[in-house]
Amino acid sequence: MAGVAHCSLQAKRLLLDPKFEGYKLSLEPLACYQLGLDAAVAEVQLRDDQYTLEHMRAFGMYNYLHLDSWYQDNVYYVDQFGRVMNLSVTLDTALQKPREVFRLPTDLTACDNRLCASMHFSSSTWVTLSDGTGRLYLIKSGKRGSSASEKWEIVFNEEMGSPFIVAHSVSFIKSDAHSLTVLLLRVEKDELDTKGSGFHVTLEWVTIAERKEGGHRYDIIKRRVLQGKSVPHYAAIEPSGDGLMIVSHKPFTFMQSESDKLEENDDAKVSNEKKDPLYYWQQTEDDVTITVHLPQDTTKDDIKVRFSPDNICVTLKDQTPLMEGNLYSSVDHESCTWIIRENKSLEISLIKKNEGCRWPELIIGDTRGELIMDPSQCSEIAESLMHLTSEVMNPNPEKENPPCNAQELEECDAFLEDGASLCRFDGDTLKVTHIINLGSNQYLFSVVVNPKEMPCFCLRHDVDALLWQPHSDQPENMWEHIATFNALGYVQASKQDKKFMACAPDYSYAALCECLRRVFIYRQPTPLATVLYNRKEGRQVGQVAKQLVATLEANDPILGFQATSERLFVLTTKTLFLIKVNSGN
């Protein structure tokens, strides 16, 4: 991948705590409030033809509760009547019922192959919404979270093809015109995939802009499609709309339109023509022979060949040198010769000064030539490398210090995402500009810390969980380590029934929930009011990190999970729970 910057994530040592001793289970009570819903959440079960792991990741584990990061403690969900319901919390003891802010115009039950309705809050006054049938809505909402100024008004409404869910969206001003750009996620049948699952994943990147002539009309101005074989863990558009970042187990590439393919084919032909070797060369232990094809009507007087002990220069008709540079090794320049063959080719003979030395290249750094080896030389090289290979997988099992013993790994340390990577795509060239191989840094979750920035993503680093904030406008600091959740990478691996993970935007706690009832909360270490000693080491402990467990009074599966700095919101089919984690300032 030419022109791609291979980067790495640099953790801040000051944010790591090598002396972290673990979480202490706290029995302090958590205030938990619950609201019964007027109508059930519009949950869509997977169909029989949605049987792959990618379908489960994209739609089966979908978070039906949407947090509006632009406003404090403001959440939304869609109910079975197609109503977008909102709960805005200011006081836990005076909770209002969720209120309707918008109703989808289409009858959701009429579409057989629909997906779950999805939404994303592009800005403080714009929302992108999908009804799950393949229709995209752009909505001007006014200031959300208060019934007085919130009024959802459709400004764009168009059929976009097969059903999708909204993965991310941003609102920005470009060329004095308001634009929104949206990522639509689909899992589609792939007729060409006969050996795999038979499906591929697409991310459609759609840009919609306001018409310049006014009238507040919006039109699609660009549609681009990326395709891959796994559902991305993280996919987000840069605030400027100029780029895209994706964390995925398998790579994504842009699909080309027919005109782009024709242009690329033409470019490929040109580059192939250029790639024909300028010269061919072969060698023995004593000499090197170079063959250069000459243009028609070239005479002996047109050719100038200059030899020196370490250099060669070949010129035709006083033009720029055809070949020039330092030779790989010294030659006996006084014995070197050249002649013109009958087939109009120039043959140059170089006599090696160091006999028996095999040259890996002719002119240092020149890749325009091609080395031709005869079969005897190939077999000689193969024979010389034979001692480095073996037909047996482990020829010396008694050898001390075997490189790795996978059986020594704990079960919770094994996970599938060992091939995951983070890629940044340029919106103009549609090429990857930066890539990070995440290796064993397992993806855990994403969170919006600042709605004006890209969402943060949390990765496992050893036993810890590190939170990274992308900065698309800072090439030298594109991914910043902003917080650490000690030992969370290890702790979450042992929770086999976990469904969702989240953390507070102020990093004060992280939380995860299981498929049913239980919610685990992990607070950051806090100073102790009383004196506590570590009996083993006989030293005073200055701070302690607490783990709290909440058990919900519900038999329905958890469908949505969101964290704010003060509260956790947990959504089941018929109930919305609020867990007070931190008291407000």
How many angstroms separate the Cα of 59 from the Cα of each of 46, 54, 165, 318?
A: 7, 8, 9, 69
Q: Is 154 strand, coil or helix?
A: strand
Give the strand pairing for 311-316 and 323-326: antiparallel
Specify the fold of 279-367: Immunoglobulin-like (2.60.40)
Helices (H) and strands (E) in the chain, counts: 4, 40
The reported pLDDT for the residue numbered 147 is 66
Strand duo 199-210 + 177-189: pairing: antiparallel
**323-326/337-340 β-pairing:** unpaired
Q: pLDDT tens digits for 378-429?
A: 777 777 777 666 666 555 655 555 555 555 555 555 444 447 999 999 999 9
Q: Would you list the domain boundaries of the chain?
A: 44-256+418-436, 279-367
Helix (H) or strand (E) holding 35: strand 31-36
Cβ-count burial 149-162 (b if 16+ within 10 Å, e if not): ebebeebbeeebee
Distances (CA, A) of 303 to 312, 313, 318, 347, 519: 13, 11, 8, 12, 83
CB-based contact 78:165 (threshold 8 Å): no
Q: Mean pLDDT for each 10-residue chunk of the chain (585 residues)?
A: 79 93 91 94 93 93 96 93 92 86 83 91 95 94 79 93 96 89 95 86 95 80 94 96 94 75 54 69 89 84 89 86 87 89 84 85 85 79 70 58 52 54 93 91 96 97 96 90 96 93 97 95 85 64 87 94 96 96 79
pLDDT tens digits, 487-544: 999 999 999 899 999 999 999 999 999 999 999 999 999 877 666 666 666 666 678 8
